[in-house]
Structure formats: C-alpha cells, structure tokens
Amino acid sequence: MMERWMRVVKDKRFTTGATIPYILAALRDPIGAVASADTSKEELRALLVEMRDDVPPPECVVILWCSRIEALVVSSRPTPPAGRRRIQSPYDPDRGLYFREIDGYQVTDLDSLTQALWDLHKDVILEGCFNRENRQWHHIDDGERREIESTLHDDE
C-alpha cells in the first residue's frame, strides 16, 4: 500500500510535485490544522526520514525547485536523478533522499536538510498557510480539503 504522503506527492493535480508545507497539512488530523513549532519540526523530520528510507524501489524521491510556483517541491521519480545530492538511508545503501542545493545552506545530512527546510517554511507552516497558488501561500479551504481527502483515500 502506498504511503499517505506519497499519494499527495503523486497527486495528478500537481505538475512537478507537492510542497513540504502542503504534504504536512495533508497528513494532519484535521487536514490543515496548525501545530506548535516543536511538533511541526518533528513532523517535518519524520516525513524526511520516510522519504529517505521507505520508498519502494526503484522509485525515489527528489526535493527540487519548481519555477512555476517558485517553491521547493517533493517529486517522485522512477529512477534516481543525475546530478542531485543524496542523503543515503542507513538501512539500505540503494535508498536515499535526493535534493537540489538550497541557497544559503550547507546540507550534509538529514538534520541539516530538516533545518534548512524548516528555516524556509516555518513561518507559513506556523501560520497555517500550506497551499501555494499564484506564488503566494494560502490557507487550505474546504474545497482543497475535499481534494486532499479524495487523494488520500484513492484505491485504499
């Protein structure tokens, strides 16, 4: 069975992938709920661990820049991308989380990637603005909640 976060990443509504704040919002109960800074950062780290360790081969997950929405997104790929950095899974040397360079951050491991992504997204996450449209962060409305619910329950 596909992980819930992967259902969001693979949602056909997204051309490139889903943003980190959007994925976190989709996984919360209720969808789009606001949580404390500590809880939110823990959720982010746990999500990154799953993306690094729990993607079934041969697929892989890549964090990359989407110029259309001007934000980092999480994308699923059938094969590892060339030229991307990787944080290797400690459990399987063939698994890992791929990412692009993040301007202003020295990303060397999962903790530094978590910190970089937290620094970039903490304000919108803590404000509950998880959805990126027209290059602006917005709250998730009822229509978007229904879309997320549908995505999470497809083919269960």
- Tens of pLDDT, residue by residue over 15-25, are 899 999 999 99
pLDDT category at 31 given cuts 50, 70, 90 is very high
For helices 110-127 and 20-27, the axis angle rounded to 10 degrees is 70
Q: How many CB atoms lie within 10 A of CB 154?
A: 12
Vertex 105 angle, CA 58 and 62, to 5°: 15
- What's the whole-number average pLDDT of the chain? 93
**155 pLDDT band (50/70/90 cuts)?**
low
Supply the pTM of this predicted model.
0.95
Structure confidence at residue 122 as a pLDDT band (50, 70, 90): very high
Q: Identify whether the C-beta of residue 129 lies closer than 8 Å to the C-beta of residue 103.
A: no
